[in-house]
Amino acid sequence: MTKRKRSVALLMSFILVATSFGGFLGASGAGAQDRETLVFGINAADIGNLDPHYASATQDRAIVDMVFNGLVRFVPGTVSELEPDIAAEMPTATENEDGTQTWTVALRDDVMCQPSSETEAYQLTSADVVFSLQKAASDDTSNYASAYAGWTVEAVDDQTIEITVETPVSDALFLPTIANYSGGFIICQQPFEALGADGFITNPVGTGPFMFQEYTPQNSVVLAANDDYFRGAPALSGVEVRFIADGTTRELALQSGELHVAAGLPEAQWADRVSEQEGVVVDVFGVGEVLFLNINTTIEPFDDPLVREAIMLAISREGHIALSGAPVGEAVYSPVPAQLMEGGLTEEEATEADVNYEQDTARAMELLAEAGYEDGFEIDLVTSEMDSYRLNYEVLADELRQIGVTVNLEVVQHAAMHELIRQDENALTFYVAYRPNADVYLSQFFTEEGGVTNFSKYDVSDLVEEARATTDSAEQAELWKQANINLQQDFAGYGILLVNQVYARQDTVDYGHELNAVINLYPGIDETTSISGD
């Protein structure tokens, strides 16, 4: 063998050995490689804010839900049951002699704060929880501070905290505020302080089953599996959330297999049609966002109850529901939806209370004539360009046209509409929202406490305060129902419909739980979510 041949043989041997090692190393990592990354097409152009205490848009809520935990959590796929999350067990309350109430929360000892670009992973302690709840309670660092007003949060030891509230509240009001939603998401102190509030907007660090990995503006957010997750390593290697604002594009991407999960159109026809495609499953589930009408009771001519009643009688719930179609759209009979929470009115209760207004155009015109508007009148309204608003405003404009009221509709950007309606630009304001309980719906939209979002300038504070003061859930629900009756009797607000969530997925995707309702407005992707082999 010549020297040159020996060299070649040596090189070949080295390549063979290296290849064998490569194969071996590859095999050792097969556990991780076998897992797939779930690609999720969401109906948005970009993120807003991934600090969970500010996250309010659907895409933001979905992402932070995968990254963070609450002290307790809604049982996956439901909104009616809560279970411990970071808490070791469900918190208990004790009434204090000074009239306050203290909730004691014991923490799990195996919860790890995820590593970040600036910090190492470390065990979550009560100091992190106290920091997070104090952040959630501050107007300077949270959008949800009002829910935590009057709270004192203290660490008893490394694994126990105490929350003292000025006025005793029921489980139904307290537990959702420490659940995996809005201000209830727990932020680890060290990464937040290291990244800063601005850094956290695009680089969230929590304790959940997935860790933030990469953000490409107007394109995607990539999350990686958190194998140190306290409930066990996720079945997925990660989740890629792609921002695809166009419904047709999402549908085609799902058909081609580019997406595993896609946000659908909130229409029954779409759900029926797409579910007929081979290998695709469409899920229709809660929580539905409620569309309700607010009539400004202080602006002419709506300061006249006859005019407000005429508006109510011009509206056809069926006409609005038809935009979505059942089961995507469901009727609600008060701004608080009885299907989703205590305190809302069922059809029977609304009918019994005489606040279930059926469309009656002739009677509406009589009422307008009685109020001195036999020739109708003209109003200017602004609407968001988002379909959930624009389509309903256009239907409203047609309904009002039938009773002689001309609506000059101006379509503006979504953020502009929110700004304008808070300046009382609209005498008739549609609002589309989900809120976790009746107290939030009523206080935000129908009390002075609601401030600029009290679009009707109607006040049911007495009933809301009374409901807060009682720890008897049944009595509380009755008080909320009475508030709903009052505001509809005085034609200040009117529940019209709720629109459920519609998502399509490849039939290989298993969310790991039944889908009845998810508070964060997406199917709920966690450590149990998996993709089976194609």
Q: Is 248 in the site for another protein (CB under 8 A)?
A: yes
Binder to another protein among 108, 320, 435, 505 (CB under 8 A)? 320
Which residue number, 388 or 516, has a Cβ lying nearer to another protein?
388
CB of 495 vs another protein, minimal distance in Å: 18
Cβ within 8 Å of residue 397, ≥6 positions away? 381, 407, 409
Helix (H) or strand (E) holding 317: helix 317-321
Which residue number, 305 or 319, has a Cβ lying nearer to another protein?
319
> Contact region for another protein (CB under 8 A) — 216-224, 303-311, 317-325, 515-523?
317-325
Cβ within 8 Å of residue 232, ≥6 positions away? 527
CB of 323 vs another protein, minimal distance in Å: 6
Q: Is 433 in the site for another protein (CB under 8 A)?
A: no
CA distance 17 to 15: 6
Binder to another protein among 112, 194, 306, 322 (CB under 8 A)? 322
Q: Show contacts with another protein in window 256-275 (CB under 8 A).
A: 265, 269-270, 273
Which residue number, 233 or 411, has a Cβ lying nearer to another protein?
411
Nearest Cα neighbor of 40 from 198, 229, 210, 275 is 210
CA distance 111 to 121: 10
Tell me, what DSSP letter sits at residue 463? H
Q: Is 358 in the site for another protein (CB under 8 A)?
A: no
> Contact region for another protein (CB under 8 A) — 56-64, 149-157, 244-252, 344-352?
244-252
Q: Show contacts with another protein in window 180-239 (CB under 8 A).
A: none
How many residues does this entry show for the chain?
534
384-423 mask for another protein (x: CB under 8 A)?
-x-x--xx--xx-xx--x------xxxx------------
Strand residues in 45-190 grouped as ranges (E): 72-74, 82-84, 92-95, 101-106, 112-113, 122-123, 151-157, 160-165
CA distance 69 to 85: 7
Number of residues that bind another protein (CB under 8 A): 27
Which residue number, 385 or 507, has a Cβ lying nearer to another protein?
385
Which residue number, 176 or 247, has a Cβ lying nearer to another protein?
247
CB of 281 vs another protein, minimal distance in Å: 18
Q: Show contacts with another protein in window 140-159 (CB under 8 A).
A: none
Q: State the maximum Cα–Cα separation within the chain, in Å, rounded to a whole number.
A: 113
CA distance 416 to 422: 10
Query: Would you say 253 and 240 are in contact if contact means Cβ atoms under 8 Å apart?
Result: no
Structure tokens at 20: 């064998």
CB of 252 vs another protein, minimal distance in Å: 7
CA distance 301 to 317: 23
Q: Is 127 in the site for another protein (CB under 8 A)?
A: no
Q: Is 246 in the site for another protein (CB under 8 A)?
A: yes
CB of 381 vs another protein, minimal distance in Å: 10
Query: Would you say 97 and 237 are in contact if contact means Cβ atoms under 8 Å apart?
Result: no
> Contact region for another protein (CB under 8 A) — 206-214, 290-298, 314-322, 469-477?
314-322
Structure tokens at 311: 């508006």
Omega before 204 within 30 of 0, i.e. cis: no
CB of 359 vs another protein, minimal distance in Å: 12
CB of 506 vs another protein, minimal distance in Å: 17
CA distance 65 to 184: 11
CB of 488 vs another protein, minimal distance in Å: 23
Q: For 171-187, give one letter per residue: b (16+ CB within 10 A) or e.
A: ebbbbbbbbbbbbbbbb
CB of 171 vs another protein, minimal distance in Å: 41
> Contact region for another protein (CB under 8 A) — 141-149, 235-243, 246-254, 426-434?
246-254
Query: Would you say 184 and 171 are in contact if contact means Cβ atoms under 8 Å apart?
Result: no
Nearest Cα neighbor of 480 from 519, 436, 517, 440 is 440
DSSP string, 178-203: GSSSGGGSPPPHHHHHHHHHHHHHH-
CB of 253 vs another protein, minimal distance in Å: 12
CB of 58 vs another protein, minimal distance in Å: 18
Tokens 């500010």, residue located: 54
> Contact region for another protein (CB under 8 A) — 131-139, 141-149, 242-250, 423-431?
242-250
CB of 322 vs another protein, minimal distance in Å: 4
Q: Where on the chain is the footprint of another protein (CB under 8 A)? A: 246-248, 251-252, 265, 269-270, 273, 318-320, 322-323, 385, 387, 390-391, 394-395, 397-398, 401, 408-411
